[in-house]
Structure 1
Amino acid sequence: MFLGIRELLHAKFRYILIGVIMVLVAGLIFIISGLAKGLSYDNASSIITMDADYLAIEEGVENQLTQSSLSESAVNEITASEGVQKAVPLAVQMGAFSETGNDKKIDATLFMTDMNSMLVPQLSEGEMPENSNEVLVDDQLKNEGISIGDTITFKGSKQEYTVTGFAENQRYSHTSVVYAENKTGHFNAVAIKGNANKKLEQHYDVLTKDEILAALPSYSQEQASLNMMIIFLYVIAAFVLAVFFYVITLQKKAQFGVLKALGAKTSYLMRNLLVQVIILSVICIGAAAAMTFGVGKLLPEAMPFVLSSDLMLLSAALLLAVSVIGSLVSLSQVVKVDPKEAIEGAE
């Protein structure tokens, strides 16, 4: 370990160069991961954060929430099913609304449900609706000029709603969600807490939130494209480190030979090489994380960018693992070094 740290301090310029490359690659991975999660939340945060285990919808609609239609009797049947602890009907209507006195149309999705149920998110500002003419809206609508106390009207309806509060991260299909009391008697799904039994699954499609997300238009395609980019960046990081440490190890072949001739064990030399990789990786990943948080602060609010501590830690752990795996090629060279040949070759 001492030998590895001493070499890092001695050959600063050499390791700074590879460190800069690692910081840039790691930073790019963090930024794209944040964009991937941001797009995921922008597309479906209302489903991701929903306090439900399953959603029961009509059979044969290919998991499309908005294509499902359930009668009141179907809702009652699902609610009374064995294993269902809580059940709340939900109606989803995509459209656009305008603020009273303003002709500007704002795309939104109306979630109509019991406003005292588990499906209604926590407030971030304002008050919860107290009657059927009041609504809770996604806080991104503030960027559209919507404020508490404003009245809005959905296209094709004369019903006016008063905005009483905002909730964070409530998006569906890249539009803001508006929560209102369901007065229509029409339902698209029933959100379930508990377990779905086989009898229920024979009459309805009982889906997890992940299955609902996968059926959202463009959701899977967006995430697949970004995740593929992230995977390639991990491969690039492993390849760069593998090549760098392989070349460095070849250059130090004579030194390894001398150390072995003096009695240094192969395991000792291998540990020192791994220590170098881990120390360099930890420093570079930390620098990349700090850089990413800085970039995140500079990005415009309208850009979907979410970088949670859990995601950052997972990405950092994967990068560290990739770095260690990339260095394994170099370890094989340390094992193969013959003291006599290395010394003679240096001469």
Structure 2
Amino acid sequence: MFLAWNEIKKNKLRFILIIGVLMLVSYLVFFLSGLAEGLKDMNRESVDKWDATAIVLTVESDKSLYQSSMSLENVDDITADEIAVITQMNSIAGNGDNKTNVSIFGINKDEFIMPNVTDGDVFTNENEVIASDALKDSGFKIGDKLELSSTEESLTIVGFTNKARFNAAPVLYTDMSTVNRFKYGEAVDANKDTINGIIVRTKDVSSISDNQDLEVTEIESFIQKLPGYTEQNLTLNFMIYFLFIISAVIVAIFLYVLTVQKISMFGIMKAQGISNLYLSKSIIAQTFILAAIGVVVGFGLTILTGAFLPSAVPISFDIPTMLFYGLVLIVVAIAGAVFSVLTIVRIDPLKAIGG
């Protein structure tokens, strides 16, 4: 450690360049991890808000809430501690100045999936909605009349709830009769008992239903089947994994070049009796110091950047994940130093000093 630190102090510019590269790589890794976490949240916030065990959909729906359609009578086929029904539709909502894609959930407000209201009141009449607070950033407020692309009727925002997005779209919560009227129009009477899914809380998932037309899906599996969710996460995670490899290669190249430049010096040190183990430890210690400084600076810059990003950027920092990635970056950097260690071990003192 003594030798490693003294060399860093003596050749500041050279090692600052290495730290700078490691800092940029770690900054990109941390930022991508935050982006991946933020995009995951955008897709699953409202589902996590249910705090449910499973969801019951029709077999033909392929685990899609929107494609599932069943009758309220199917609730009689369900055995669970708590049961909630839901109907869902997608639309474009506008308040005259702004428009955005929304997902509308029809629910019963006396059931457990009823969201908490963080601002305003709960809906008490038809056509009243509790909206995701993500809409606030888009210029929506309590009292706004929302015109929907799929109907001539309008909705009124009476309250807001936090963390309520589904498949990246802000959610509007209202009563089931309102959603069914919007979906079926004049045929609403014939479809008044139609729902999209049944959400349950229970300890024994296997005993929820034996109806052959219904499929019980655990919540995490349901989330994984959301359109684009898995593909999006895999893409960002592969980018992070490749950055780990790139980090190892960069460190290996830098340290190898530095080691080659110092072959004669290492040869003299070995001729004086300094062991390969001591020199190898010095290289490893030097790599650890450089990587640790680069990762810490990159971590700090990422948190600082997050504080200034607009709310429209879907980013969420999971500190335990970031710390794990930081540790991995340090480990792969040390792994990249192995080539330099092997070079030192192979140095012949006599040849290195020109003997």
- Relative to the length of structure 1, the TM-score reads 0.86
- Counterpart of 1:23? 23
Percent identity of equivalent pairs: 29
Q: Distance in 2 between the 1:316 and 1:120 partners?
A: 39
- Alignment partner, residue 10 of structure 1: 10
Match of 1:247 in 2: 257
Task: Identify the residue that residue 83 of structure 2 maps to in structure 1.
Answer: 87
How far apart, in 1, do the equivalents of 2:73 and 2:91 lie?
27
CA distance in 1, matches of 2:83, 2:279: 62
Q: 1:332 to 1:168 in 2, by over 3 A?
A: farther
Aligned to 1:107: 101
SS at 1:7 equivalent: helix
Q: Counterpart of 1:187?
A: 195
**Partners of 2:72 and 2:55 in 1: how far apart?**
16
Shift of 1:147: 1.4
In 1: Cα distance, 2:53 partner to 2:324 partner: 24
Question: 1:187-237 CA deviation, whole Å, 9 max, x = no partner?
Answer: 222223333116737733322334323322233333333333222222211
Q: Is residue 35 of structure 2 the alignment partner of residue 35 of structure 1?
A: yes
Alpha carbons of 1:274 and 1:107: their partners in 2 closer, same or farther (altered >3 Å)? same
Distance verdict in 2 for CA 1:89–1:287, change over 3 Å: same
Structure 1 residue 13, shift from structure 2 partner: 0.9
**How far apart in 1 are the matches of 2:349 and 2:210?**
69
Structure 2 regions of 5+ residues with no counterpart? 178-191
Structure 1 gaps of 5+ residues are: none
Could you tell me which amino acid in structure 1 is paired with residue 311 of structure 2?
E
1:75 aligns with 2:75: yes
CA contact (8 A) 1:41 1:48 kept: no
Which digits, 9 at most, give the CA deviation of each residue in 1:253-305, with x for residues without a partner?
33333333333333332222222111111111111122222322333322222
Shift of 1:165: 2.7
Partner AA of 2:86 in structure 1: L
Q: What is the count of residue pairs matched by the alignment?
A: 338
Q: Deviations over 1:156-215 (max 9, x none)?
A: 557654433322332122321012233453322222333311673773332233432332
Instruction: State the distance in 2 between where 1:322 and 1:118 align.
Output: 46
Residue 129 in 1 paired to residue 138 in 2? no
Cα contact 1:97–1:105 (8 A) shared by 2 = yes
Deviates more, 1:69-78 or 1:196-205: 196-205
> In structure 1, how many angstroms separate the alpha carbons of the residues matched to 2:65 and 2:244?
35
**Aligned counterpart in structure 1 of residue 341 of structure 2, from 327, 331, 334:** 331
Task: State the shift of 1:68 in Å.
Answer: 0.9
**Aligned residue in 1 for 2:187:** none
Equivalent position of 1:149 in the other structure:
143
**TM-score, normalised relative to structure 2:** 0.84
1:90-124 per-position Cα deviation (integer Å, ceiling 9, x unaligned): 2221113344xx3865321012223344434444x
Residue pair 2:256, 2:339 contacting (<8 A) in 1 also: yes
Q: Mark the CA change 1:15 to 1:113 in structure 2 (over 3 Å): closer, same or farther.
A: same
